[in-house]
Structure 1
Amino acid sequence: MLVLDAGNALFKSRDSGEAPDARARAELLLAQMDAQGTVAMAVGTRDLGLGVDFLRKQTRKSKLKLLSANLVDAQGKLLFPASLVTQVGGFKVGVVGASPEKAAPEAMDPIIKGKAPGMRRGLPVAPAVAAEAKRLRAQEHVDLVVLLAAVPYDDVLKLANDLEGVDFVLQSHEGRGSGIPQRVGMTTLLQPGERGRQIAKVELTVNGPGRFMDISEQSRAKDQLRLVESNLARAKERIAQATDPAQKGALESAVASLEARRTALQKTAAEGATPAPRTHLLSYIQLGPDVPGDPVVQKAVERIEPPGSAGH
């Protein structure tokens, strides 16, 4: 099992690092992510509320690694590792992190009176990620590449269309919650849940080369195919009964559209007839009141957000 976080996890908003409980909250989250075996997290806008130095100090001795292939200092040097390689189930997995692009320099850490702050900026995401994915494939010989993209959703869609060498993209920025996998270009975009309300669980089967096939896509196609065929049968019955030429023409147009849709769904459903060498299946674990909490962690949370407080 490989536990990852797409970033934007530590603060409620870009500016909430100034809140009285911000440091304690971020320290607790980082400590618990490390304790629960999180291997890597991308550095997002809502992780930088207390600055780069804070993040480095808090994770210096932890197994959790913070990643960003495009967040650099004034000299263009990376502030965090671009990627890491880990072994999971006998396979080498490369994990790349990405932060939002930001051409204008920003202060690296909270401003202290009388001290000139270091500056940071976000390089263009696409070339930074593409170069790192290529390096992981060529030099590290990884079997799988996952991108943790702590960048806006629209930017990820543009990026993924031309992205090579990345199998999966886990995106965070707006808190989009759960969703179905999206094939975009040569990669698959996954929503990892938001605000600790869900855990996205992706089960992979790797028995050969090629791109990953979504097991649930065939299942959804079969369900939709049954619905289309039912609608098609009803439309044909109505054509047989129609006497008005205009109505009949409209129904014939609808039948043609349904038949085209049926053909597309049949093709998708048939792709699952022969087992693919690489498959993925996405599901979500909802972390509601039916999931028991850890008493020790609960006490630590309540010290920061007491029961009955606005944030609890």
Structure 2
Amino acid sequence: MGGLARKATVIENLKNQGLNPIILDAGDLLFKKNIIDPGVTTDVAKVNAEIIIDSFNQMGCDAFSLGSKDFAGGLDFVLEQYKKSNFPFLSCNIVNKSGELLFEPYTIIKSNNLDIGVIGLTSNFDNNEVQVLDPIISLKNIINEVTNRSDIVILLFNATQQDLTKLYNFDFEIDMILSSRGRTRSSDGGSRIPTYIAGDRGKILYKFELNIIDEKLPITDLAWCENTIKRVGDRLEKMKQGNPDSDLINLYKNDQKTLSRIYGYQAQLNQANQSLENAINSITFEKIELDKLVFDNTKILKIVDKGKEKILEIGSPFIDSKGRLPGDPHHGHNH
């Protein structure tokens, strides 16, 4: 649970700097697996989830979009946490057996004179207590309502790569996507709708800074532009075979396959350079490692300690000699 206490420290430091950060979570927050082993393990996992909700209540959260793993403790447990939370649970495509939405599909956050629409969405998953509607159709049904009320639209999408690819084929007015499913972490937002995958380990906090001059214009991902310019530039230089003055078109004039690659690289380079030069609205981001260099927030530590006491009352053998809960990477170690 050290990540929670350190996350709270980072957020508190931002607030102490006079900033008003918007805190979002794209899902798979409460549990680490889709299915929990029955018995004491389930009880321990639920206490851990309660610690997370209590900690988020303390540190602040503006919106949480549910993912598949969040239902591992059962629907009733999710609804209990929803009632005790002081932040919105979102989903525009998770419904009960009667087909009714269980949570609000989106929320509007006011920040710096802007209305920011945040939508909750998830890819399909199997669960006996809920149904998951087609994510693309569900998004299509509400996107106009959200865009009409918002200056900026953020999608929290617990997504498979297949569903992300489908989404890109539609002309949805979405400014950025935050995704939590999978372990791959983004180094930039990609060449389409800026999309950031935080991974599912919870050991990194993504800090985004949006510079909005004209909310009617798209947001340019500066990291993607800079990464593309470097990556493609390096590839083109490597193809010059050690001679920086080489004319690549002339050098590979008899190799049509390589020429096609060169033209593709040059097109990417031109796109990135033009996007960088013409950027009006921009987004930058920083990955903050929640390691031991970040101090633990004492208020969150108190919440964690209360949770540990509750686990001991259950009679769980899972807390180690250092008081660490299951899931801690050092659980069971003597250091």
8 Å CA contact 1:238–1:251 kept in 2: the answer is no
Q: Does 1:80 align with 2:100?
A: no
Using CA pairs below 8 Å that are at least 6 residues apart, which structure has the higher relative contact order? Answer: 2
CA offsets 1:243-270 (integer angstroms, 9 cap, x no match) = xxxx987689757744652454144224
Q: Does 1:123 align with 2:133?
A: yes
Q: Does 1:165 align with 2:169?
A: no
In structure 2, distance between residues paired with 1:78 and 1:99: 13
8 Å CA contact 1:11–1:46 kept in 2: the answer is yes
Q: 1:111 is matched with which residue? A: none
For residues 165-244 of structure 1, the aligned pairs below 5 Å read 165-184=173-192, 187-208=193-214, 209-224=216-231, 226-228=233-235, 230-231=237-238, 233-234=240-241
For residues 134-145 of structure 1, the aligned pairs below 5 Å read 134-138=144-148, 141-145=149-153
Q: Does 1:288 align with 2:287?
A: no
Counterpart code for 1:14: N
Secondary structure, aligned partner of 1:92:
strand
8 Å CA contact 2:54–2:303 kept in 1: the answer is no
In structure 2, distance between residues paired with 1:13 and 1:256: 44
1:29 to 46, 52, 58: 52
Q: Does 1:311 align with 2:327?
A: yes
TM-score (norm 1): 0.80
Tell me the CA shift for residue 6 of structure 1. 0.5
**CA distance 1:155–1:225, shift in 2 (3 Å):** closer
8 Å CA contact 2:36–2:73 kept in 1: the answer is no
Tell me the CA shift for residue 146 of structure 1. 1.0
Structure with greater Cα Rg: 1
Q: Does 1:16 align with 2:26?
A: no
**CA distance 1:215–1:49, shift in 2 (3 Å):** same
Q: Does 1:2 align with 2:22?
A: yes
Q: Does 1:45 align with 2:68?
A: yes
In structure 2, distance between residues paired with 1:189 and 1:122: 22
Tell me the CA shift for residue 17 of structure 1. 6.9
8 Å CA contact 1:153–1:172 kept in 2: the answer is no
Q: 2:128 is matched with which residue? A: 107
8 Å CA contact 1:221–1:269 kept in 2: the answer is no
More divergent stretch after superposition (46-55 vs 19-28): 46-55
More divergent stretch after superposition (230-239 vs 291-300): 230-239
In structure 1, distance between residues paired with 2:263 and 2:123: 43
In structure 2, distance between residues paired with 1:167 and 1:99: 18
Tell me the CA shift for residue 131 of structure 1. 1.7
Aligned-pair identity in percent equals 21
Tell me the CA shift for residue 283 of structure 1. 2.0
Counterpart code for 1:272: L
Q: Does 1:55 align with 2:85?
A: no
Structure 2 unpaired stretches of 5+: 1-20, 312-318, 329-335
**CA distance 1:255–1:191, shift in 2 (3 Å):** same
In structure 1, distance between residues paired with 2:245 and 2:288: 44
In structure 2, distance between residues paired with 1:33 and 1:68: 18
Q: Give aligned pairs, total.
A: 288
**CA distance 1:236–1:46, shift in 2 (3 Å):** same
8 Å CA contact 1:212–1:280 kept in 2: the answer is yes
In structure 2, distance between residues paired with 1:263 and 1:107: 48
8 Å CA contact 1:83–1:94 kept in 2: the answer is yes
More divergent stretch after superposition (52-61 vs 193-202): 52-61
Q: CA RMSD in A?
A: 3.0
Counterpart code for 2:213: N
Q: 1:271 is matched with which residue? A: 275
TM-score (norm 2): 0.75
In structure 1, distance between residues paired with 2:252 and 2:236: 19
